[in-house]
A = this chain, B = another copy of it.
Amino acid sequence: MEQQIQFELTKEFVDRFQQALDERDHAFIVECLQGVKAADISALLYEFNSEESKYVLDLLPLEVQAEIINDLDTDTRVKYLKVYQVNELIPIVDALHSDDVADILNELPVKEREEVLSGLNGELRTQVTELLRYEENVAGGLMAKELIKVRDHWTVVQCIDEIRKQAENVDKFYAVYVVNDRDVLVGRVSLKDLVLSDARKVVSDICERDITSVETYLSDLEVADIMRKYDLESVPVVNVQGQLVGRITIDDVVDVITEQAEEDRQLMSGISEDVEEDDSVWRNTRARLPWLLIGIVGGLMNAKFMGLFEAELSRITAIAFFIPLIQATGGNVGIQSSSLIVQSLANPGFVYDGLWTRLAKVFLVALLSGISLALLVYGANVLIFSEQKLSVIVSVALLSVVVFASFVGTITPLILNRFGFNPALASGPFITTTNDLLGLTVYFFTVHLML
């Protein structure tokens, strides 16, 4: 094996490349992209605009162009596709798998989509047309049509012959699917078993029948869970009649898992649309404002609420000093609790029953943390502020806030999940805002009662 050439994106290289682009120095570009992997070229192209990228792509072999276009993220690709004519696009997508073609066509305006579709070769056109029927986030939208299938009554030698024919369209295959004459999925036979078996045996005798399949309407997250749980590298997709219609491979599922993690993180951090740092200023702002607004409304409500205690506040100004402490602790406890629940909800083995045992435990953890923190703060307050009475009040309020915030943080994700929302939503500004209000209420109530 030749030494793996590590292609590194340095600022110097990007600048040199930009210069070559400005000068339309195609010799330099062709030379330095020689033998570089498509994924590395994609990473490089993110640094340039659509016209420049198209100039580079046009200099590359068709399959590499196709692979790069396929590799791009949706946002970038939508921009790129705008600078392409329909007749330039057709040969490119023609080199891709049906599922990738369907994804790309979904990003085109309807008119162009139809034009590209009608320009594809017959078989691919039929496959893609069928895939376009499905939503993107179900098994049908995730699957590819390219697969190797054999009939259950064929002999091993017939199968190998057929695989030879079908294999042209399928560059990676993990399994050969076995169907009956009505195309109903019967089982799977590994290439290994075919190679190692007696050539005259019938496939139905050597095929594995107890295999996991998914139906077209299953959500992508459920497909990911199933493939992860049973450690599958590919899974066949069947329609309601049990007929084999496609297959999903683990690399598609890796993308689903990665996107889910990203979505969770965005929800947790209060970003409301799928936005990336390199999107426009306007889009970035728009994605952030909704949650900030909720925080602001919460803050105004807090202000209004505190107004009720103006008398106490003006008598003992020091009450105000501890607002941030109470509020920050409530927020932190709430996020910790909801995050732990979100994590257990993500485990396939989660059982809803035993809610009371769970809450009892949450209560114990809260009590233990609350008491430790309250004692500590009491000590610190006496030392720093030497105010006996207010110190007691702050500690009592702190303990109550920890307990309340734990409950809210635990229950909110469970409720969201029950009603079909992503529970990670509860770890975000939502819980923070609720806990701010809750914390202040508890604090001022304690002040009111004890002072």
Contact = CB atoms under 8 A, between A and B. Distances in A.
**Chain A binding site: helix, strand, loop or mixed by DSSP?**
helix
A191 interface: yes
Contacts of A172: 174, 233
A292 B336 CA distance: 10
Contact of A268 (B268, B340, B351, B385): B268
A276 interface: yes
A343 interface: yes
A344 B384 contact: no
Contacts of A27: none
Contacts of A313: 317, 320
Interface in A188-241: 191-192, 194-196, 209-213, 228-231, 233
B268 A269 contact: yes
A300 B384 contact: yes
B336 A270 contact: yes
Nearest to A267: B339
A335 interface: yes
A415 interface: no
Contacts of A271: 336, 339-340
Contacts of A96: none
Contact of A320 (B242, B266, B306, B348): B306
A59 interface: no
Interface in A16-57: 35, 37, 39, 42-43, 46-47
Given A277-B344, A303-B385, A310-B318, 18 more contacts: A1-B242, A4-B212, A43-B348, A231-B251, A250-B254, A268-B269, A269-B339, A270-B335, A270-B336, A271-B339, A276-B340, A281-B364, A293-B373, A296-B325, A296-B328, A300-B377, A319-B320, A327-B328
Closest 8 pairs (CB-CB, A-B): A299-B325, A269-B339, A261-B261, A320-B320, A303-B321, A302-B324, A43-B349, A11-B353
